Amino acid sequence: MAGRRGALIVLEGADRAGKSTQAKRLVEALKERGYKAEGMRFPERTTEIGKLVGSYLEKKSNLEDHTVHLLFSANRWEQVPLMKEKLRSGVTLVVDRYAFSGVAFTSSKKDFSLHWCKQPDIGLPKPDLVLFLDISPEAAAKRGDFGNERYETSDFQKKVQKRYAELMEDRSLNWEMIDAAQSMEDVHSAIRQMSEDIIEQAKDQPIGKLWIESDT
Ligand SMILES: Nc1ncnc2c1ncn2[C@@H]1O[C@H](COP(=O)(O)OP(=O)(O)OP(=O)(O)O)[C@@H](O)[C@H]1O
Ligand SMILES: Cc1cn([C@H]2C[C@H](O)[C@@H](COP(=O)(O)O)O2)c(=O)[nH]c1=O
C-alpha cells in the first residue's frame, strides 16, 4: 500500500561473524518473498570519505583515532538522505554494520568512552531491528581471511565484544542476539523470520532517531 515504509535492519557483530554472508542472503530471501529490499554496508568505501577510511583499515595510511572515528560517522551521515528516500519508498534496508560498530570499535581503544563515541551518530535513522551475530573471538579467527585488516586481532576483538554487550543493555533499541556459530542455513532461517516480522511492524511507523530519548 502507498505510504508504507520499509524497515531498517542492521547486522552487527565482531569481524568474521558472518554479517556480509547473511546480509546478502537476507536481501535475496526478502525479494523472493515479494518485499522490496536492498543491502548497504558501512563503511561505504566508495565515497571520498570511505576511501580514507578504507585505506586506514587496510593499514595503507594512519589516521589519528578521534579523526577516524568522526570519518566513520560522516561516512554514515553522507548516506542518510539516500537511506531515508529508500525507506520512505517502501524499501527495506539490510545494513551490514552501523553506528554500533563505530562505538564498539573506537571505545575499545585506550581512553575512549562509550559516551563520547556515541555523540556523532546521535540522530541517525534508528534501526527497527539490530541483529547481533554472536561468535567467540576464537571461532571467528578460524574463519577465512581473519587478520588482514586493522582491528583483526583476537585481543582487540575480545574488547569489542565487551563493548557490544554494553550497547545491548540499551532497551530503547530492538536488539536480537543470534548464535553465529550455527550453520549458515540455521542463522539465515532465524534472521529471516525476525526480519519479516519487523517489516510488518515498522511499515506504519515513522522513522525514529537513534539515541534520542524523545523518539524511543
Ligand atoms: N555460519 C557460518 N559457518 C561457517 N563459516 C561461515 C559462516 N558464516 C560465514 N562464514 C564464513 O566466514 C567468513 C567470514 O564471513 P563474512 O564475510 O560473511 O563475515 P563478516 O562478519 O561480514 O566479516 P567482516 O566483518 O570481517 O567483514 C567467510 O569465509 C564465510 O564464508
Ligand atoms: C562501520 C565501522 C566499522 N569499523 C571497523 C569494523 C571492522 O573492523 C572494519 C570494517 O570491516 P568490514 O569488513 O568492511 O565489515 O571497520 C569501525 O571501526 N568503525 C565503524 O564505524
- ipTM metric: 0.98
Pairing state between β 175-179 and 129-134:
parallel
- Dist CA 70 CA 214 (whole Å): 24
Contact 47, 210 (CB under 8 A): no
Residue 215 has pLDDT above 60, yes or no: no
In the predicted structure, residue 138 carries a pLDDT above the cut 90:
no
Lowest mean pLDDT among 20-34, 66-80, 148-162: 148-162
Does residue 176 carry a pLDDT above 60? yes
Distance CA 101, CA 32 (A): 29
Percent helix, strand, coil in the chain, to 5, is 50, 15, 40
Compute the average pLDDT of residues 133-142: 89
| pLDDT > 90: percent of the chain | 88
CA dist 100 and 175 (Å) reads 11
Ligand 1 atom closest to the CA of 144, numbered from 1: 29
Distance 166 CA to ligand 2 centre (A): 18
Counting from 1 in the atom list of ligand 1, the atom nearest the Cα of 187 is 1
Instruction: Give the ligand whose atoms come closest to the C-alpha of residue 63.
Output: 2
Mean pLDDT across 96-121? 98
Compute the distance between CA of residue 212 and CA of residue 210 in angstroms, rounded to an integer: 6
Using the mean position of ligand 1's atoms as its centre, give its distance from the Cα of residue 180 in Å: 9
Q: 17 CB under 6 A from ligand 1?
A: yes
Q: What would the pLDDT profile of 73-85 be if each residue is shown by its tens digit?
A: 999 999 999 999 9
Q: Which ligand 2 atom is the nearest neighbour of the CA of 53?
A: 16
Please tell me the distance between residue 42's alpha carbon and the centre of ligand 2 in angstroms.
7
For residue 119, give the DSSP letter: G
Ligand 2 pocket by Cβ (under 6 Å): 15, 42-43, 57, 72, 97, 101-102, 105, 149, 151
Would you state the pLDDT for residue 214? 65
Residue 80 grid cell = 542518510
What integer pLDDT is reported at residue 146 of this predicted model?
79
Mean pLDDT, residues 156-169 taken together: 96
pLDDT band, residue 2 (cuts 50/70/90): low
State yes or no: pLDDT of 43 exceeds 90: yes
Atom of ligand 2 nearest to the CA of 43: 1
Task: Kindly tell me if the per-residue pLDDT of 1 is higher than 70.
Answer: no
User: Distance, CA 18 to ligand 1 centroid (Å)?
Assistant: 3
Cα-trace Rg, the chain = 17
- Mean per-residue pLDDT, 50-73: 98
**CA 150 to ligand 2: nearest atom:** 8
Buried b (16+ CB within 10 A) or exposed e, 137-149: beebbeeeebeee
Would you say the CB of residue 144 lies under 6 angstroms from ligand 1? yes
pLDDT for residue 154: 86
Q: How confident is the model at residue 216 (pLDDT cuts 50, 70, 90)?
A: very low
- Protein residue whose Cα sits closest to atom 5 of ligand 1: 143
15 lines ligand 1 (CB under 6 A): yes
